[in-house]
Chain A
């Protein structure tokens, strides 16, 4: 565990020094806030008005955009985690170090997850305070949504890392994980027209729905927590398996 924490500290610190994390923060904050205040969420069945035109003290429009942003940011933050090493040929040196693969993976995961979760919390809470200053905001939905956003961030980062481990190039890693996360998000758009059993399966499979239907509305469900745990754990397991195979192959 000590090695994992060491990897985490170094990775997190390096992220704070790199322009990617700062660009991600600025992008998320400005774009998310603009969309929330002026555009709303016009996509699919769950359309929501913009904050100023809807005139209701709630953050549903903000939470509705988070899965979309995570589908871009998580790949951006994780694309270089393994793919860059592989491209440069330094992954073999990395694998030869006396550190367990799972500790490496866990350390990188924790770094990227904490970064994305911190960016999300920083984007959500000041808006919540501002909305509360102009209307009676339900803080239960804010805390639920923030917690759900952190879990969703973990799942997104897990997918990003697993894809990065499989890819040779950073761009391929980015596009691959963005495609996977985008498809998972898009499930909730097509669920209405899917045949019955497929709709059920899509409902269970979509991380965005597990977030938006429950925690983003202030409903804490153990089943959703287990879902995100399994999802993230599964992605990390795939990540470890790919690296282990490369290590000993």
Chain B
């Protein structure tokens, strides 16, 4: 009885103990959940704050790519490291950006500016101003010519619009340069270009001669504006009247010289003789597609160029392999049609000098109605080909109907055949001692009235398609410098590529500024601009298989009966190319799976099979007494 009562008592005690543990257990679980959530929250806060701190103070970056485009260039680091005084940089950036993509761009710009600040070793002071929230900042930005750009984006069901400011001004030793609008992808070249402007004691001076040397040809207005933006521009006019090219001019650009008077040619030659460097955009033809006429243009520099061994060949180049497409309509009421127009040359990267800074980093340029530059070696001069055509290029006479009559193009395609095809030089760089063409006598300067009358006669003759009259030239016996000082000259057998907005596109503009920078010895800027990603094309299996089968030649030559055979071989080439692709893919995937099997096998050999005693990895991991 007593044992039974004791047992009951023990049971009752056990039950009440259990009952008192129940609330404690559920309290424990609640506390456990609370602790877990609290830990999670603390972890998130630490993550956010730690990330923020690292963003600001933990920058240690390595660019391990071959292109090396992600970090400031060595040139940039050097330019910033050489600052002698404080460079003030004011960034007019919108503070509260409502649009995500703009915020990311702004963040990247700030990161880039901070990188430059680090490279300057404390010489750069950056301040950020928000024109949207500060009237003073807005007023200053506006006075500098910085204007906001409107941005619009869909966010859910509504549209968000905001005027975005992303402008920067650099100030150094009293000089100022403004970047009115910057984006991360262009920031380095623009920023360092502006830095160069404010830190250089003197910008290079570029002389500019176009056409007849008396007036600016409006087609070269964009080129002139580009020169004025980057350099100190001097328009060299009226050289025929005895005016000289000033000593301060470093580089002379001669664009589409047209019937230049011998006195002008002499002044240009004198400039080169004293060590000045020149860029010649030569063009023997003016082509008007709309008016369907072609005009031959003698440059007036023939004697001078001949003394340097250069002779522009008459005619116009037709490149069967590398050319552009022309869109035109033959009648007003017709839709535009695309024509393969081999007179518009496409000069790819492979057809440019690979190591000269002017062409090394370029993706390619386009030339229009170009002529070949023939060169005979001259003692004391070093010539290097800058650009050239493909091997399938012919030089055609300028009266070729297909030049301006597009309906004659097809017939011209059939007539132009392998005989006479060759690689043609489009651009040349000459350096060394240049012999003068004027050692026999210096052309006298013109009387302005006589010059005006002569020009009028020339224009009338050209318009009538007649040979322009020659102006009587009086030669003076004066001492002439010849081949005494070294210089450099670049000649391009076309001027249309730099004329007007239509032809003077981004690639051609880049080529132009590279040429001028080369002559102005602006190696830093050239190095910056040549920072382009390396092209990485893969092998063209289809082209290789077609070549292996022998599928070359003009498809239009194929007779009707042969077309079936051609299609069969094209099909075969496609199949072979596809087979090669699948083989490579199978190797890649098979390699991955094979390696996986191999590693699994090696692991088992090294560490043995996992015991199957316990199906639970968590338990089996410790059931062998491995715990410490």
| Contact residues on A (Cβ < 8 Å of other chain), bracket | 35 or more
A residues less than 8 Å from B160 (CB atoms): 195
A179 within 8 Å of B (CB atoms) = no
Question: Are B155 and A193 neighbours in the complex by a CB distance under 8 Å?
Answer: yes
A residues less than 8 Å from B592 (CB atoms): 29, 33, 122-123, 125-127
A residues less than 8 Å from B414 (CB atoms): none
What's the least CB distance linking B44 to chain A, in Å? 7
**Chain A contact residues: over half helix, strand or loop, or mixed?**
helix
Interface residues of B in 588-622 (CB under 8 A from A): 588-589, 591-593, 595-596, 599-600, 603-604, 607-610, 616-622
How long is the Cα–Cα vector from A104 to B589 in the complex, in angstroms? 35
Give the tally of cross-chain contacts (CB within 8 A).
Answer: 270
Given A13-B603, A245-B33, do A223 and B55 touch, yes or no (CB 8 Å)? yes
Interface residues of A in 10-65 (CB under 8 A from B): 10-17, 22, 25-26, 29-30, 33, 37, 51-52, 55-58
Question: Are A249 and B32 neighbours in the complex by a CB distance under 8 Å?
Answer: yes
What's the least CB distance linking B537 to chain A, in Å? 6
Given A13-B603, A130-B588, do A138 and B65 touch, yes or no (CB 8 Å)? yes
How long is the Cα–Cα vector from A57 to B537 in the complex, in angstroms? 6
Closest residue of chain A to B57 (Cβ to Cβ) is: A223
How long is the Cα–Cα vector from A76 to B488 in the complex, in angstroms? 68
Closest residue of chain A to B578 (Cβ to Cβ) is: A52
Closest residue of chain B to A199 (Cβ to Cβ) is: B100
| Contact residues on B (Cβ < 8 Å of other chain), bracket | 35 or more
A182 within 8 Å of B (CB atoms) = no
B104 within 8 Å of A (CB atoms) = yes
A residues less than 8 Å from B32 (CB atoms): 245-246, 248-249
Given A136-B536, A195-B155, A199-B103, do A230 and B50 touch, yes or no (CB 8 Å)? yes
- The 0/1 profile, CB within 8 Å of A marked 1, for residues 89-104 of chain B is 0000000111111111
How long is the Cα–Cα vector from A200 to B607 in the complex, in angstroms? 47
Question: Are B593 and A26 neighbours in the complex by a CB distance under 8 Å?
Answer: yes
A residues less than 8 Å from B540 (CB atoms): 55
Question: Are B585 and A33 neighbours in the complex by a CB distance under 8 Å?
Answer: yes
Binds A, one of B34-42, B343-351, B519-527: B34-42
Question: Are B593 and A193 neighbours in the complex by a CB distance under 8 Å?
Answer: no
B35, B36, B604, B621: which has the most chain A beta carbons within 10 Å?
B621
A237 within 8 Å of B (CB atoms) = yes
Question: Are A222 and B59 neighbours in the complex by a CB distance under 8 Å?
Answer: yes
Question: Are A133 and B36 neighbours in the complex by a CB distance under 8 Å?
Answer: no
A137 within 8 Å of B (CB atoms) = yes
A residues less than 8 Å from B618 (CB atoms): 7, 81-82, 85, 90-91, 94, 104, 108
How long is the Cα–Cα vector from A108 to B621 in the complex, in angstroms? 10
Question: Are B98 and A196 neighbours in the complex by a CB distance under 8 Å?
Answer: yes
B70 within 8 Å of A (CB atoms) = yes
What's the least CB distance linking B101 to chain A, in Å? 4
Given A2-B628, A130-B584, A193-B155, do A223 and B59 touch, yes or no (CB 8 Å)? yes
**Known interface pairs A130-B585, A204-B52, A222-B59; 7 further A-B residue pairs with C-beta atoms within 8 A, sorted by A's residue number:** A9-B607, A33-B592, A135-B537, A138-B536, A195-B98, A204-B48, A218-B64
Tell me the B residues contacting A by CB distance below 8 Å: 25, 28-29, 31-33, 35-36, 39-40, 43-44, 46-48, 50-52, 54-55, 58-67, 70, 96-104, 107, 153-156, 160, 534, 536-540, 581, 584-585, 587-589, 591-593, 595-596, 599-600, 603-604, 607-610, 616-622, 624, 626-628
Enumerate the 6 nearest inter-chain pairs by beta-carbon distance, A residue then B residue, closest first.
A199-B100, A245-B32, A6-B626, A196-B97, A10-B621, A218-B65
